């Protein structure tokens, strides 16, 4: 395990991944870039799925609040002695928290497992200490982040993904 710049006769992960030509090594470099980019795609997918679940829960909570408000309005019209508030429901009362269903959590766990597996393959590739492969990992991380983490930044509303993930190693 020494730093190296070998291109011909390199072998990664398994003996079937043997680069005996320059073209095979170039293909390996492109594959490593795409693998690292797929890791960034998986990270974005996890965030987007969680955002989808939160939006779905918020929509259900808003529908529930609207139903409660309409029932309160109709009850208030029939009997003025009942004092049921009909204004907007505070966020804490509307949505005390959300726990995904078993199926939703299974999807979340599957996405996490695939992300974890891809991250470990990228780490194993880096442990070969091949300079070209490590540069390809960096290029893949750059391109993946550029493409998949190009998010709308809401000023003062929510932190960016960079502040939510201070450690790159332990996704």
Q: For residue 143, is it within any domain?
A: yes
Residue 92 pLDDT:
46
Mean pLDDT for the stretch of residues 73-90: 53
CB 38 within 8 A of CB 141: no
The pLDDT score that the predictor gives to residue 60 is 83
171 is a domain residue? no
**Interatomic CA distance for residues 29 and 65, integer angstroms:** 54
Q: Do 97 and 61 form a contact (C-beta atoms < 8 A)?
A: no
Mean pLDDT for the stretch of residues 145-170: 70
Here the tokens at position 64 are 């529930």
Query: Percent of the chain beyond pLDDT 70?
Result: 74
Distance between CA 39 and CA 72 in Å, rounded? 49
CB 74 within 8 A of CB 147: no
141 in a domain, yes or no? yes
Does residue 128 sit within a domain? yes
C-alpha–C-alpha distance, residues 16 and 105, integer Å: 36
Residue 170 lies in a domain: no
Burial call 3-12: b when 16+ CB within 10 Å, e when fewer: eeeebeebeb
| pTM, entire model | 0.73
Q: What is the DSSP letter of 14?
A: S
pLDDT digit string, tens, across residues 129-146: 999 999 999 999 999 999
The β-bridge partners of 19 are 10
Specify if 2 maps to a domain.
no
Find the domain containing 90 and state its range: 10-164
- Residue 169, in any domain of the structure: no
The Cα–Cα gap between 113 and 125 comes to 18
pLDDT of 15 strictly over 90: no
Decide if pLDDT at 109 tops 80.
yes
Q: How confident is the model at residue 77 (pLDDT cuts 50, 70, 90)?
A: low
Residue among 46, 48, 65, 61 nearest 119 (CA)? 46
């Amino acid at each position: 395990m020494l730093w190296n710049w070998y291109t011909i006769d390199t072998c990664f992960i398994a003996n079937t991944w043997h680069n005996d030509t320059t073209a095979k090594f170039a293909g390996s470099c492109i594959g490593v870039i795409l693998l690292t980019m797929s890791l960034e795609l998986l990270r974005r997918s996890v965030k987007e799925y969680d955002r989808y679940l939160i939006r779905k829960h918020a929509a259900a909570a808003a529908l529930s609040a609207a139903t409660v408000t309409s029932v309160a309005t109709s009850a208030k019209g029939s009997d003025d002695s009942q004092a049921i508030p009909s204004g907007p429901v505070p966020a804490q009362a509307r949505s005390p928290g959300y726990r995904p269903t078993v199926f939703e959590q299974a999807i979340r766990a599957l996405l996490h497992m695939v992300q974890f597996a891809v991250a470990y393959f990228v780490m194993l590739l880096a442990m070969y200490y091949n300079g070209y492969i490590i540069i390809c990992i960096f290029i893949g991380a750059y391109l993946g982040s550029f493409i998949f983490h190009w998010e709308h930044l809401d000023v003062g509303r929510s932190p960016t993904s960079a502040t939510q993930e201070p450690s790159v190693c332990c996704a």
